[in-house]
């Protein structure tokens, strides 16, 4: 059975649909009047605007996002690490590795959307 994954195209579409600004190292943030979020936050927010607040108010965001997007928590953490430019950990699980690859690819696909908004 194939594991559910998030593609760079899904992430680009989510940022364009929600107006969120790509940001690294946090799940959600605000810069002035602009809402910012990581790639998975954008995908979850595209499904429902209420998800942005759910993630913002969560204590363990990775579990909230995993539940909202029907992904494994390990995949979510790997995706975030890849999106944030973290170092690959060869000892992590297969789900983490897949998430890491997808997060790195997603960042490369969306980083230009920050131009003129964030330094």
Residue 82, CA distances (Å) to 18, 32, 57, 107 in order: 22, 26, 23, 8
Q: Report if pTM > 0.95.
A: no
Q: Average pLDDT in the 62-84 region? A: 96
Instruction: State the average pLDDT over residues 95-106.
Output: 97
- First CA to last CA distance, the chain: 42
The mean pLDDT of 103-114, rounded to a whole number, is 95
Residue 117 domain-assigned (yes or no): no
Segments forming the whole domain that contains residue 56 = 8-111
pLDDT tens figures, 23-70? 999 999 998 889 999 999 999 999 999 999 999 999 999 999 999 999
Domain count, the chain: 1
pLDDT for 96 equals 95
């Amino acid at each position: 059975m194939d594991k559910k994954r998030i593609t760079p195209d899904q992430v680009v579409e989510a940022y364009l649909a929600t107006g969120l600004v790509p940001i690294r190292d946090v799940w959600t943030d605000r810069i002035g009047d602009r809402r910012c979020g990581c790639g998975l936050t954008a995908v979850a927010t595209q499904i429902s605007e209420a998800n942005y607040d759910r993630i913002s108010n969560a204590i363990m965001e990775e579990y909230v996002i995993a539940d909202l997007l029907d992904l494994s928590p390990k995949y979510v953490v790997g995706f975030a690490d890849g999106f944030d430019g973290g170092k690959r950990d060869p000892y992590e699980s297969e789900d983490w590795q897949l998430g890491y690859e997808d997060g790195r690819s997603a960042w490369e696909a969306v980083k230009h959307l920050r131009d003129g908004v964030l330094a």
